[in-house]
Structure 1
Amino acid sequence: MIKPTNPESYALITWTDSLQFKACFLSFAAQVKGFVGGCRPIIRIDGAHLSGYYKGVMLTAVAIDGNKEIFVLAYEIVDTESIDSWTYFFRNLRSLFAQYESQKEDWTFISDRMRGVESALFEVFPRATRRICCQHLYSNCKAAGWSGATFHKMFWIAANAYNEYVFEKAMSKIKDFDAAAYDYLKNVEEQWSVHMLDRTVCCDHNTTNFVESFNAITKANRDMPVLTLLEAGGGEFEVRDGHVKFPVTLGNIACGCGKWQGSEIPCKHGLKVIYNQRLDPRDFVSPFYKGLLTNSLMETTSTP
């Protein structure tokens, strides 16, 4: 449905040999056009677990626009987070860019050290640059036993250093604090300190806060079945009635058939959406009717 209703969008669904759902990848035309045409060449990637009956993982690619605001590029639903699922994700990203005649291969990706990301990324984008989220890097340090106010301060001075002098000075203090911590950080192959970052990318971010903010927004819907999850958003729905499709908007209490707006009682299309979303129809009825319905109910219950 996405392809005929949103021309030039990229949508792919994959099935197993036994015709069971395996994965899907989606990016609407406006998303990729906006990214290729106006966003900096850095992509934040992350995975968020689905909490519904069938479980699964939602992989997301998020960029930032010129106003430093979240710009969602693409998302994918897979059964589990693995090398195969991330490879599927990156291959679709590559095909997505090729569809819009973007020959760029040296994209910058930033993420935490998720399972399967590194090998999958460089298999599909061998010229890519990878940044590591400093917040996750610091969490790894804490897990290894390097923590406390002193280490915390030195770590973030090194992470946010805009020049090599400040970075090396902070690292020297970390070495005096704990040589093992110094060796660990020195051996991190990904970019993590600001002074290491490619200036041509024009982005000094060294955390994945943007994509995690997007994941936080979707948390309330991640217990839904896959189809419902992908359709959720903004209270806008589409209901088929025979050969006609009617747009229904819960927030505005409106349906394309016009009946709901005219009577302020949900039409049959609105009711389908209300019940589908497990909501109470009485919340979408005009207060005038609620008074009449209450009086009518009282009269019925008082009748012998």
Structure 2
Amino acid sequence: MIINTNLGSAAIVQTELATKETTNEEGELELSTPPVMKPQFKRIFVCYKRVKDRLLSGYRLFFGLDGCHLKSPYKGILLSAVRLDANMQFYLIAYAIVEAENNDSWKCFIQHLTEQIGEHAPASHAWCIMSDRQKEFGTSDLKNMFWATTETGNIAHFQHIMDQIKEFNKDVYKWLSDIDPKHWSMSCFDSNAKVEHSKNNHVESFNDWIEEVQFKPPIEFLEGIRIQNTNMMYLRKVTAEIWEEKLTPKVHLKAHKIMRKARYAQIRGIPCIHAVSCVIHARANIYDYVSDYFTTENWRKAYEGGIHQILDESMWIKDDTE
């Protein structure tokens, strides 16, 4: 029904053959004799068209991937792709219910995701994807040094901390050195991404946001996400329409704080205090030097349109095939 009510959306169901079970006279489940194979639900991938259509409406080519356990009797894992909107709030791109979090389920999810949004990335820039890769570090000192390497925007400072890690633990140093720092240190991030995050917190926020529906069976769970997402989009749409500043609320506040605290201009897309001084000296408007990704105009574009209501299950077309 997702496809029928939201034309152009993707709702891809994957099944597998399983032996049909029957109930005996004692009410106990047993395998049918002779064995009869029937399709059994395995996975479902969902991506709404109105989300795909808004991917390049001022949005950064950046999103995070994560998985979380579902808590209904049916178990399973929810895989999700979540990005940040112009106001630095999470924005759901696509999600899937799968049987387990493993290489096969992630490969399937990424394949479907690429088919849906791959064409929305400009040829000059690739998507910037964030996922949890950090290992468990043995001591708090080592852990602090690791996070310092991820958050610094200065390459020389990054190398200085890496030298400290090498003296502290050569094994950890080798493990980190084998991963190109452009994948995990802000000092080497692609400046086109305009990302100031080294952690997947926005995806964790989404996982917390769906906690109330995690206990529901698959169909009710999917409908619960749709309803919550639709309501959230409407509220943000209304908020964006009445906001009168050029920059979104959170970036507007950050731009004011920037005058008191330095930022990394090229990486984050917001001028540092030194650039601000030059702008003020030239009697220009600092808002004109903030990346267009963070403007209210682009924020509003992200919430244009909406996800359409899905018919009640009683109105679904019946499929009598076994």
- Give the TM interval when normalised to the shorter protein: 0.5 to 0.7
Alignment partner of 1:186 out of 177, 190, 201 = 177
Quick check: 187-196 or 50-59, which moved more? Answer: 187-196
Specify the SS of the correspondent of 1:73.
strand
Contact 1:197 1:204 in 2 (8 A): no
Aligned with residue 111 of structure 1, among 127, 131, 146: 131
Counterpart check, 1:60 vs 2:51: no
TM-superposed CA distance for 1:46, in Å, is 0.4
Given that 2:5 and 2:310 are in contact with CA atoms closer than 8 Å, whether structure 1 keeps it comes out as no
CA distance in structure 1 between the partners assigned to 2:206 and 2:214 by the alignment: 12
Mind listing any 5+ residue stretches in structure 2 that lack a counterpart?
A: 18-37, 232-308, 317-322
Looking at structure 2, the residues matched to 238 and 43 of structure 1 have their Cα atoms a distance apart, in angstroms, of: 27
Structure 2 equivalent of residue 215 of structure 1:
207
Task: Say if 2:70 and 2:76, in contact at 8 Å, map to a contact too.
Answer: yes
TM-score scaled by length of structure 2: 0.60
**TM-score, with length taken from structure 1:** 0.63
Post-superposition Cα deviations, 1:7-49, rounded to whole Å, max 9, x if no partner, equal 2222211222321111111111221122233321112000111
Q: Which of 72, 75, 80 matches 2:95?
A: 75
Of 212, 219, 227, which residue of structure 2 is paired with 1:227?
Answer: 219
Distance in 2 (alpha carbons) for counterparts of 1:56 and 1:164: 42
| Cα contact 1:141–1:181 (8 A) shared by 2 | no
1:31 aligned partner = 51
Matches of residues 152-171 of structure 1 in structure 2 within 5 Å? 152-171=143-162
Give the match's secondary structure for 1:38: coil
Point out the structure with max Rg over C-alpha: 1
1:97 touches 1:103 (CA, 8 Å); kept in 2?
A: no
In the comparison of the two structures, how many residue pairs are matched? 214
CA-based RMSD:
2.6
Gaps of 5+ in 1: 114-136, 245-304
Aligned-partner Cα distance in 1 for 2:69–2:144: 32
How much has 1:189 moved relative to structure 2?
4.2
Deviation of residue 228 (structure 1)?
0.5
Task: Indicate the residue corresponding to 2:192 in structure 1.
Answer: 200
Alignment check: 8 A CA contact 2:155 2:187 kept: yes
Cα displacement string for residues 182-201 of structure 1 (whole angstroms, at most 9, x for unaligned residues): 22322234611111211111
2:212, 2:189 → 1: CA distance? 35
Residue type of the alignment partner of 2:88: K
Higher deviation after alignment, 223-232 or 89-98: 89-98
Check whether the contact 1:49–1:56 (CA below 8 A) recurs between aligned residues: yes
1:44 is the counterpart of 2:64: yes
Once residues 200 and 77 of structure 1 are traced to their aligned partners in structure 2, the CA distance between those partners, rounded to angstroms, is 32
CA distance in 1, matches of 2:44, 2:77: 11
Query: What is the CA-CA distance between 1:103 and the residue it aligns to?
Result: 6.5
SS at match of 2:56: helix
Aligned partners of 1:22 and 1:194: how far apart in 2?
Answer: 38
The correspondence of residues 128-143 of structure 1 with structure 2, limited to 5 A, is 137=134, 140-142=135-137
Tell me if structure 1 keeps the 8 A contact 2:64–2:81: yes
Question: What letter is aligned with 1:9?
Answer: S
**Structure 2 residue aligned with 1:263:** none
Residue 14 of structure 1: aligned partner: 14
Please state whether the residue corresponding to 2:108 is helix, strand or coil.
helix
Q: Is the CA contact 1:35–1:63 (under 8 Å) kept in the aligned structure 2?
A: no
